[in-house]
Amino acid sequence: MSYPTPRELLARYGLRPKKSWGQNFLLDERVYATLVESVAVGPGETVVEIGAGLGTLTARLCGTGAKVVAIERDRDMAMVLRAELPAVELLEENALELDLARLAERAGAPVAVIGNLPYQIASPIVLRALAQHASMKRLVVMLQREVAERVVARADTEAYGALSILCQIFAKADIIRMVPATAFHPPPRVESAIVRLVPEVAGPDVLPDVDRFRRVVDAAFRMRRKMLRNALSGLVDAAAFARAGIDPARRGETLTVAEFARLARS
């Protein structure tokens, strides 16, 4: 791959990584290869890159033959992208407001989404993308390791919580690779992980009311050690627990994703 390295690009344009933006630029070629392989795109497909930064992953995505749409809000990074990758479609938008339905409609099919996300806003970006799961074929993201472990956690484990459930109700989630801090410039203070989420559409028979589901899940984990009858007081009554076949003396962290869906439906 002949595209310049992050250090070369920063020097070329007189830039420094912005700590306040969570800018840690990937250096490791093996990790780049894993990202590109995991998003699995080719000619005729569209891939949306969230937080394209200096364009190092963008250039490698272009090598697949797919159409690349780069999302980047930092004006300095956008300047680099325009100069180095003029053929790439660049959208200077906030990823927290990303409209995947619009991009999928333009592409004529669901799009793939990938990103090395700023860790301080990674969870809301992932949840916003999954809320638009019908417009997305897969999501591959670099996350802080602890967040990645929460995304894929199973019921009755320490990492399991609201984020686990709100991701897994819409997608199958797997950690593809752990990534050490030394793979980045500058190195972050945490380890990272690549997570792949493949949407599994929750139809109306599974999840008729997404907002209600979110309210039940959030309330169940607001006071993690409370029994469900107390945590969900005013939201779920005794009859609903009975219809769902769930003991109200259980705690939220013991319920599977399917049980939460059943409780929200009831």
Task: Determine how many CB atoms are found less than 10 A away from the CB of residue 96.
Answer: 12
- pLDDT per position as a tens digit, 52-86: 999 999 999 999 999 999 999 999 999 999 999 99
Residue 225: pLDDT above 90? Answer: no
**For the chain, which residues make up each domain, given as ranges?**
6-199, 210-265
Kindly write down the DSSP assignment for every residue of 118-155, as one continuous string: -GGGHHHHHHHHHHTGGGEEEEEEEEEHHHHHHHH--T
Fold of 210-265: Helicase, Ruva Protein; domain 3 (1.10.8)
Q: Are 23 and 142 in contact (CB under 8 A)?
A: no
**Do 6-199 and 210-265 agree at the fold level?**
no
What average pLDDT does the structure give for the chain? 95
Which percentage of the chain shows pLDDT scores above 70?
97
Residue 220: pLDDT above 70? Answer: yes
Which percentage of the chain shows pLDDT scores above 90?
91
The per-residue pLDDT for 204 is 54
Name the region of 2 (left: φ>0; alpha: ψ -120 to 50; beta: rest). Answer: alpha
The per-residue pLDDT for 1 is 55
Indicate the pLDDT class of residue 249, thresholds 50, 70 and 90: very high
- pLDDT per position as a tens digit, 92-150: 999 999 999 999 999 999 999 999 998 899 999 999 999 999 999 999 999 999 999 99
Residue 264 vs residues 9, 207, 215, 219, 243: alpha-carbon distances, Å = 50, 8, 9, 12, 11
Cα–Cα distance, 139 to 39 (Å, whole number): 7
Ordered alpha helix ranges (H), the chain:
6-12, 29-39, 56-62, 75-84, 100-107, 122-131, 145-152, 162-168, 210-222, 228-231, 238-244, 257-265
Q: How much is the average pLDDT of 2-13?
A: 96
The per-residue pLDDT for 203 is 57
Residue 28: pLDDT above 90? Answer: yes
pTM comes to 0.94
The per-residue pLDDT for 20 is 87
The per-residue pLDDT for 68 is 98
CATH 3.40.50.150 is held by the domain 6-199:
yes
Q: 63 is written with which tokens?
A: 């090598």
- The amino acid that residue 246 corresponds to is I
